[in-house]
Structure 1
Amino acid sequence: MAGRVGRSPQAAAEKRRLILDAAVRVFARQGFHTCRVSDIADEAGVAYGLVYHYFRSKDEVLDTLFLERWNVMLDAIREVDTQDITARRKLEAIAGFIVDSYRHDPDLMKVIIVEVTRAANSFGQTHLAKITEAYNLIGAVVEKAQVAGEFRSDISPQFAAMAFYGAIEQVLTGWIFDSLPQSAGGFDEAKRLIVETICSGLDR
Structure 2
Amino acid sequence: MSPKKVDKDARRQEILDAAVRVFARKGFAASRIDDVATEAGIAKGSVYLYFDSRNALLDAAFEKYDADSRVIVQRALDGEAPPLDRFSDLVRGTLELLADTPDHARILLDLWSTDYMKQVYRQNRQAITLLLKEIRPDLGEPHATVVVGVIEGVLLQWLVDPELPIAELSQPILDVCINGLKERR
For this structure pair, what is the TM-score category when the shorter chain's length is used for normalisation? Answer: 0.7 to 0.9
8 A contact 2:14–2:40 mirrored in 1: yes
- CA positional deviation for 1:130: 4.2
- CA positional deviation for 1:88: 2.0
After TM superposition, the structure 1 stretch with the greater mean CA deviation from structure 2, 16-25 or 87-96, is: 87-96
8 A contact 1:138–1:161 mirrored in 2: yes
- Please list every run of at least 4 consecutive aligned residues from structure 1 whose deviation after the TM superposition is greater than 4 angstroms: none
8 A contact 2:157–2:164 mirrored in 1: no
The equivalent of 1:200 in structure 2 is 179
Matched, 1:27 2:23: yes
Matched, 1:75 2:71: yes
8 A contact 1:41–1:48 mirrored in 2: yes
8 A contact 2:22–2:35 mirrored in 1: yes
Matched, 1:167 2:162: no
- Percent identity between matched residues is 24
TM-score by structure 2 length? 0.87
Q: CA RMSD in A?
A: 2.3
Separation of aligned partners in 2, 1:46 and 1:83: 45
- CA positional deviation for 1:103: 2.0
- CA positional deviation for 1:104: 1.7
Number of equivalent positions:
181
Structure 1 residues without counterparts, runs of 5 or longer: 148-152
Equivalent residue runs for 1:1-204 within 5 Å: 11-112=7-108, 114-116=109-111, 118=112, 120=113, 124-126=114-116, 128-147=118-137, 153=138, 155=139, 157-178=140-161, 181-183=163-165, 187-188=167-168, 190-204=169-183
- CA positional deviation for 1:93: 0.9
Separation of aligned partners in 2, 1:169 and 1:146: 23
The equivalent of 1:150 in structure 2 is none
Separation of aligned partners in 1, 2:164 and 2:49: 39
8 A contact 1:163–1:198 mirrored in 2: no
After TM superposition, the structure 1 stretch with the greater mean CA deviation from structure 2, 128-137 or 98-107, is: 128-137
Separation of aligned partners in 2, 1:109 and 1:127: 12
Separation of aligned partners in 2, 1:175 and 1:127: 19
Structure 2 residues without counterparts, runs of 5 or longer: none
